[in-house]
Structure 1
Amino acid sequence: MIKSENPGAKWFLRLAAAFVFQTVALGVDASPEELDRFTVHWQSPSKNDSGTMPIGNGDLAANVWVEPSGDLLFYLSKSDAWSGNGRLLKLGKVRLKLEPGLIAKDAVFSQKLDLATGTIRIQTRGVNIAFWIDAHRPLVHVEVDSEKEHHAAVTFEPWRTKQRVLKGKETHSAYGLLKGPPVTVEPDKVLPSKNHSIRWFHRNQKSCYDVTLKNQHLGHLIEKYPDPLMGRTFGGMIHARGMVQRDDRTLATKNPVKQLHLQIHALTAQTETEQEWLDQLTKRKSEHDAKPLAEARQAHQAWWKQFWNRSWIYISETGAEEKQPNPSSDAYRVTQAYVLQRWINACAGRGKFPIKFNGSLFTVTGKDGGTWDPDYRRWGGCYWWQNTRLPYWSMLSSGDFDMMQPLWQQYTRVLPLLKDRVKAYYKHDGAYFSETMYFWGTFNNANFGWGNPDVHTENKYVRRYWQSGIELTMMMLDYYDHTRDDAFVKQAIIPVGEAVTTFYDEHYKRGEDGKILFDPAQSLETWQKSKNPTPVIVGLKVVIGRLLALDHGLTSVDQRKRWESILNALPEIPTKKQGGKEWILPGETYSHKQNTENTELYAIFPYRYYGLHQKDLDVAKETWRRRQIKRTGGWSQDAIKAGLLGLSKEAKGYIVSNAKRKHSGSRFPAFWGPNFDWIPDQDHGTVTMTAIQRMLLQTDEEEIYLIPAWPEGWNASFKLHAPDNTTVEACVKDGKVTHLKVQPESRKQDVIIKSAQ
């Protein structure tokens, strides 16, 4: 049964919703035809790499384009290709040339992203090209099938051909080393011809790791935590049956052919020698070759089918003809933005490291105070939690739990070092996750300060911005609510949650009232001097409450006693009352405003202490009305918060604005940015995703609320994930929910229809 709305307020909100695509009138699995309505189809070549189309298998990715010359080009990227300077580099660039070429006067040209099968398809002049990256292996396939015979040549075109020093604004690509020693880019190595293949790699023979730990007073930990950069080697091997070596960088057909199957095997490994890496690559090629192509293709397409069927959304204008979506309508553009951003997430989200917010794996030649090579990305290779987190908040609702694993792995992997850092810096237990960090856990040196004698950063924006670990624990708890993976609690939630709460408990003294006095502290990056900042208090209040609510078989008596003690010692959330109204403040005191975050709204998102289904909705809305920064785009989260407050008109306005704000210099419609970061901006698209999810579905304890912030004038069909391994499929038509399907069926009794306010 479907309940009527329960007016009782709860103390926290769970995550909601996700999407795949189908017609408004139907509640069936997403079909290739429906996906095809929102794909990208180009009918002309691209002038340069600004016209690239992204594709990937979660770890290995490519930017693909066809130039007016008729050559097919692509950049290759890998999620673990870290240079000795801590930059995430491309693997390289490849060119495929056919004679006769792909482009001719009056010839029909088509380059299409086949979302359903995870393939880019190019058709022209009787030539069909299928470009795909195996969903299960680091292997690129380029299949050419032609009506007529062609000569073909494939060339590896590296741009890192000699040692050079980054200068001027380009140095921002190695942000962590700014104001330090010169940043030297080392060349790639192309190996001599052998067995009609092209082989190349980039190998780190220098590393910024040791100097980083020594600069940050952690040199004593170098032996305990080995250098993750030195000896890291990444590259690949290109080969194709019927092609022979022209030179070390080029393969060519001996005779014209109608079919060609180009394969590129990629590998990253940290090895003692070059030969050890090469032996691993050769072994990998043999393993790949042992699997028949048809079998590999079938498994690849099966992965993408199950991916799209996990969740979906299709939005249309009320009264619009359902079978003929209007590409210029707001509903269409929002839907396409969601589909394509989720595609980009999947293309880069299953590697060994989290998605890079500033370009993901899809950076191209950049213009940022100069024209820089495709390795450039503003803010460099470090992770900013404020930015890194946003793609992952959207993955819970879409059921993309596999893509969340790299995030969990990175932050749990660095925890031992961070605990040792706290002992070295402050002589007590616990750990904090800094806002900016290298993937091994330390600050970057530009923020910490070169030769800084203190343990606090010279950079005032992140000096005491330590609440990242609280939000990480919050997200982990949401993941557990969805999956009920008890092993994850013990392996990730408890170690991280204990370390973070212990840090705050032991780092700060108690005030005269017996409460913890968070001072000196800061309220995110914005209020750089704050006593009892709201994000810390509300975050700990919610997270500790949820830790205590875990099944007692997963926690110990001592842990629960400690958490209860901390919870009881937390100060009240800072608020102000005037004229019969009450609103939340950024902190008990706050000054030195330097950034543009509404830190008081962390009580709504991500911590969900206040909101549509929680306590004091009037307080939350008054806080929303009084927020100083009102905007959308990039990492700005007003769209999400509007959805959580049931403000349908505001939420709709924000997501429509976001969907229309692609990067003007990029051809692909979901390459956003640069906004605050770089191109394609991963925060911009994923904030949009999360906002739509919250507009369609929110949860609180056992209850599932549908359409809590869904606007008038839009219909929708969706499949969304909710806690307790639950999925909800439904349609919204003219403001009414139909075709409701809930799995497991026992959860249907928890569904509440709550229309927007």
Structure 2
Amino acid sequence: MNSKLIKKTFLILIFTLFYTNISAQSKNVLWYKQPAEFFEESLVLGNGKMGATVFGGANSDKIYLNDITLWSGEPVNANMSPDAYKNIPVIREALKNENYKLAEELNKKVQGKNSESYAPLGTLEINNSEKGKAVNYHRELDLSNAISKVSYEMAGIKYTREYFVSAPDQIMIIKLTADQKGALNFDVNLKSLLKSNVEVRNNILVMKGNAPIHENAGYTVLPKYLDIKERGTRFTTLIQIKKTDGKVTSSRESLSLKDATEATIYVSVATSFNGFDKNPATEGLDEVSIALQNLNKAYAKPFDKVKESHIADYQKFFNRVNLDLGKTTAPDVPTDERLLRYADGKEDKNLEILYFNFGRYLLISSSRTLGVPANLQGLWNPHLSPPWSSNYTMNINLEENYWLAENTNLSEMHSSLLSFIKNLSVTGKITAKTFYGVNKGWAAAHNSDIWAMTNPVGQFGKEDPMWACWPMAGAWLSTHIWEHYTFTQDLAYLKKEGYPLMKGAAEFCLGWLVTDKNGNLITSPSTSPENQYKLADGFVGATLYGGTADLAMIRECFDKTIKASKVLNTDADFRAKLETALAKLYPYQIGKKGNLQEWYFDWDDNDPKHRHQSQLFGLFPGDHITPLKTPDLAEASRKTLEIKGDETTGWSKGWRINLWARLWDGNRAYKMFRELLRYVDPDGKKTEKPRRGGGTYPNLFDAHPPFQIDGNFGGAAAVAEMLVQSDENEIRLLPALPDAWGEGSVSGICARGGFEIEMTWNNKKPQKIIVSSKNGGKTTVIFGDKKQDIVLKKGESLEIKF
């Protein structure tokens, strides 16, 4: 054997061993031996606006299509109930008299419309002419390049498909190949659950339609609303096939390709949505020309160029963070089997990394449209009547979607939410006046939608106040603005956009607060999101005064607005008002069980294990409760979590993992993280012993159940929180590292102050630490009882040894 051949054989062997190891211990690839049968097994792609849910069937492939701007409805009439605020004094009087039953009934008078819902755009089907049994089937999603692939053999021919959704070209690409000449024969068709029309023009498959204009009361869209002309958001989908050989033909409603070896399908979608305050029918964008322009531009480029620019664009975000959790002995098995094995308590560190990476992948894929953040299902909704309207639920879910934006180095994705907050402030000024009688600032409530609806929901008095009556979303959301500033140090943003929004949220809170009989400032009426108290006389209600969650959010809002005004050296008089009010807020109370009270009085919870833990807001995502600064309150928070227990699902589990991380209890946080990854069968799957409840579906989607994306985001954020915690003055390394992650490394995790961390650890102790500064600044780096002050210039890095 000559030396060249030996060298070549050796390289192939090394590559094979390397590739086998990668596939065995993949941190970036979800893969399966069979097509998806259910939505919860499918693989999702997105460019932040267009979403695709790929099933990967051999004889027939199904792809659900979404556009994040396709919602029911039209701009909201924020002034829908101009006199609602007149009920507030009467509710306050009832509460002052401790007549909670009356207050509960009266609170219903301060309700408006429910939100609109996120709509499914349509379904693309690729049907093969040859039917047969597929063998050697393989389906995957590679998070490192945001590309999905399917391969299989049928009748001795190998077929492959490659799918991606490009942000630079605003197009979906599906490349199909056969390893024998002329073996590709398929039809392509489109359909939609919405009112639509499909036809073929110039060998382009065209689907045009409209979203309904009205969300009816019970979270279902009634067909009669589909027939109102010149109303609602229009959408267009265009599909064109580019072939190397073979022949494209068409019928009235489908495209066909015959006798081809290789082909590329281009999918372009657009809607007439033109902003939250523009009527999409009369002031909408020209969705047909936008879709056609995107199609023509992409179609004119070679496939490889479109793919290269897609990968380059995606990787500039995804590649910023790299996590390793040390040696693993987990075997090379498909992702669904991997989850089952993990659910039995087996070790699979790279599955834990895969879940973390998947969270970052989902945010990049669903949050790149200004003013339209990721919703309850991110970007991927197949339902005409999705769970909870797939809307923006702002008493936790929308915010949890963005907990990983800054600390996992995806600050640009935060912009979708930050720009949405600006929209909310516009309708929210009217809501503050008309629903709450507060003439300064802006307010937002429990639910919203693409139209930046801010009114309290409840169908004008038909719903339960425990969830419908809650005006604190503005206070909570305003803290995201400060988060963005502290991580990026973007002073221009804070001055121009951020601070005025924070000030508006704080102004509303100032105007909303009243004095209790002891001279403390409280909110009245108040509720604690979706929870209820139980009085000694057996009355179960939600309306009270001085709820802990309200005051925690106002504390955080005031604290951050004060800090922002100091940074900008502005508004000294307003800052003084906030400081005075902050000092007068009704203090936290520790109850008879040692818990942090949720209610003004030490009342019983109707459900002691309730999924919400809003009274712990100050511990996380806020930062005014910490084990060091407020040990008594931290201990009461711990007691509260212990009473609630660990049995909860989805976003709630994601939140609790972060709370345990903030209490520096890494092993408890890790226990719950493992539970978040508990295998759950697809909702529609019939099995003898179905695995139901909360956890993770085969495609790694969060099972609340049903699917809600916030658990994915909260779980991924918690991993970062276990490794690094920070505030404006300090960075704490490995504060909640579980025993299971005794060795590892991470790079690209961000800390407040504009810093980035790279570190390796062994025996749960940092070995190598490099701190880099994006803008220059000082901080204190802490591990255990060791501290080191550092000052860095812009772009400078420093290696630290403890």
Equivalent residue runs for 1:167-246 within 5 Å: 186-190=194-198, 192-204=199-211, 207-208=213-214, 230-242=231-243, 244-246=248-250
Partner of 1:431: 442
C-alpha contact 2:184 2:259 (8 A) present in aligned 1: yes
C-alpha spacing 1:749/1:407, structure 2 compared with 1 (3 Å): closer
Partner of 1:728: 757
Residue aligned with 2:236, SS: strand
Question: Is 2:484 the counterpart of 1:479?
Answer: yes
CA distance in 2, matches of 1:48, 1:695: 33
CA distance in 2, matches of 1:375, 1:689: 29
Question: Is 2:682 the counterpart of 1:670?
Answer: no
How many pairs were matched up? 656
CA-CA distance at 1:716 after TM superposition: 2.4
CA-CA distance at 1:144 after TM superposition: 1.8
C-alpha spacing 1:544/1:396, structure 2 compared with 1 (3 Å): same
Partner of 2:402: 392
C-alpha spacing 1:663/1:323, structure 2 compared with 1 (3 Å): closer
CA-CA distance at 1:271 after TM superposition: 4.8
Equivalent residue runs for 1:307-456 within 5 Å: 307-316=317-326, 320=328, 328-352=346-370, 354=372, 357-364=375-382, 374-385=383-394, 386-425=396-435, 426=437, 428-442=439-453, 447-450=457-460, 452=461
CA distance in 2, matches of 1:552, 1:748: 15
Question: Is 2:85 the counterpart of 1:81?
Answer: no
Moved more, 626-635 or 408-417: 626-635
C-alpha spacing 1:397/1:458, structure 2 compared with 1 (3 Å): same
C-alpha contact 2:729 2:778 (8 A) present in aligned 1: no
C-alpha contact 1:661 1:672 (8 A) present in aligned 2: no
RMSD of equivalent CA atoms: 3.4
Equivalent residue runs for 1:734-749 within 5 Å: 734-744=763-773
Question: Is 2:268 the counterpart of 1:258?
Answer: no
CA-CA distance at 1:659 after TM superposition: 1.5
Residue aligned with 1:409, SS: helix
TM normalised by structure 2 equals 0.75
C-alpha spacing 1:589/1:463, structure 2 compared with 1 (3 Å): farther
Q: In structure 1, what residue type is equivalent to 2:189?
A: F
Q: In structure 1, what residue type is equivalent to 2:598?
A: P
C-alpha contact 2:408 2:717 (8 A) present in aligned 1: no
Question: Is 2:271 the counterpart of 1:268?
Answer: yes
Residue aligned with 1:606, SS: coil
C-alpha spacing 1:417/1:554, structure 2 compared with 1 (3 Å): farther
Q: In structure 1, what residue type is equivalent to 2:649?
A: G
Q: In structure 2, what residue type is equivalent to 1:158?
A: K
Residue aligned with 2:150, SS: strand
CA distance in 2, matches of 1:32, 1:749: 38
Partner of 2:165: 133
CA-CA distance at 1:44 after TM superposition: 2.5
C-alpha contact 1:531 1:588 (8 A) present in aligned 2: yes
Partner of 1:247: 251
Question: Is 2:43 the counterpart of 1:43?
Answer: no
Identity percentage of aligned residues: 16
Partner of 2:615: 600
Q: In structure 1, what residue type is equivalent to 2:195?
A: P
Partner of 2:83: none
Q: In structure 1, what residue type is equivalent to 2:651?
A: W
Q: In structure 2, what residue type is equivalent to 1:123?
A: S
C-alpha spacing 1:384/1:276, structure 2 compared with 1 (3 Å): closer
1:565-619 CA deviation, whole Å, 9 max, x = no partner?
43243232333589xxx6532243265845623333222112221123x412243
C-alpha contact 1:188 1:202 (8 A) present in aligned 2: yes
Question: Is 2:598 the counterpart of 1:586?
Answer: yes
1:149-176 CA deviation, whole Å, 9 max, x = no partner?
224333224143xxxxxxxxxxxxxxxx
C-alpha contact 2:167 2:313 (8 A) present in aligned 1: yes
C-alpha spacing 1:280/1:545, structure 2 compared with 1 (3 Å): closer
1:713-745 CA deviation, whole Å, 9 max, x = no partner?
322221211123211111222212123222139
Partner of 2:17: none
Partner of 2:528: 523
1:185-234 CA deviation, whole Å, 9 max, x = no partner?
x52122x4211011112224x6238999xxxxxxxxxxxxxx9x934211
C-alpha contact 1:473 1:497 (8 A) present in aligned 2: yes
C-alpha contact 2:724 2:734 (8 A) present in aligned 1: yes
CA-CA distance at 1:650 after TM superposition: 0.9
CA distance in 2, matches of 1:159, 1:739: 54
CA-CA distance at 1:481 after TM superposition: 0.1
C-alpha contact 1:523 1:590 (8 A) present in aligned 2: no
Partner of 2:79: none
Q: In structure 1, what residue type is equivalent to 2:746?
A: F
C-alpha spacing 1:606/1:674, structure 2 compared with 1 (3 Å): closer
Partner of 1:658: 676
1:522-548 CA deviation, whole Å, 9 max, x = no partner?
233324233322222233223322322
C-alpha spacing 1:475/1:78, structure 2 compared with 1 (3 Å): same
C-alpha spacing 1:467/1:312, structure 2 compared with 1 (3 Å): farther
C-alpha contact 1:532 1:588 (8 A) present in aligned 2: yes
| Larger RCO of the pair (alpha carbons < 8 Å, separation 6+) | 1
C-alpha contact 1:235 1:266 (8 A) present in aligned 2: yes
Q: In structure 2, what residue type is equivalent to 1:402?
A: E
Question: Is 2:582 the counterpart of 1:574?
Answer: no
Q: In structure 1, what residue type is equivalent to 2:625?
A: Y
CA-CA distance at 1:80 after TM superposition: 0.9
TM normalised by structure 1 equals 0.79
CA distance in 2, matches of 1:246, 1:534: 64
Q: In structure 2, what residue type is equivalent to 1:188?
A: S
C-alpha contact 1:523 1:535 (8 A) present in aligned 2: yes
* Structure 2 counterpart of 1:147, from 179, 190, 197: 179
CA-CA distance at 1:290 after TM superposition: 4.4
CA distance in 2, matches of 1:84, 1:72: 31
CA-CA distance at 1:302 after TM superposition: 0.9
Equivalent residue runs for 1:626-637 within 5 Å: 626-627=640-641, 628-631=643-646, 632-636=648-652, 637=655
Q: In structure 1, what residue type is equivalent to 2:126?
A: L
C-alpha contact 1:408 1:492 (8 A) present in aligned 2: no
C-alpha contact 1:142 1:262 (8 A) present in aligned 2: yes
C-alpha contact 2:177 2:262 (8 A) present in aligned 1: yes
CA-CA distance at 1:252 after TM superposition: 1.2
C-alpha contact 1:576 1:585 (8 A) present in aligned 2: yes
CA distance in 2, matches of 1:652, 1:209: 40
Partner of 2:296: 286
1:281-335 CA deviation, whole Å, 9 max, x = no partner?
3333333344443332211111232222211323246xx4699999751533322
Q: In structure 2, what residue type is equivalent to 1:740?
A: I
* Structure 1 counterpart of 2:48, from 58, 64, 78: 58
CA-CA distance at 1:392 after TM superposition: 0.4
CA distance in 2, matches of 1:407, 1:590: 36
C-alpha contact 2:330 2:347 (8 A) present in aligned 1: no
Partner of 1:118: 146
CA-CA distance at 1:464 after TM superposition: 4.0
Q: In structure 1, what residue type is equivalent to 2:529?
A: L
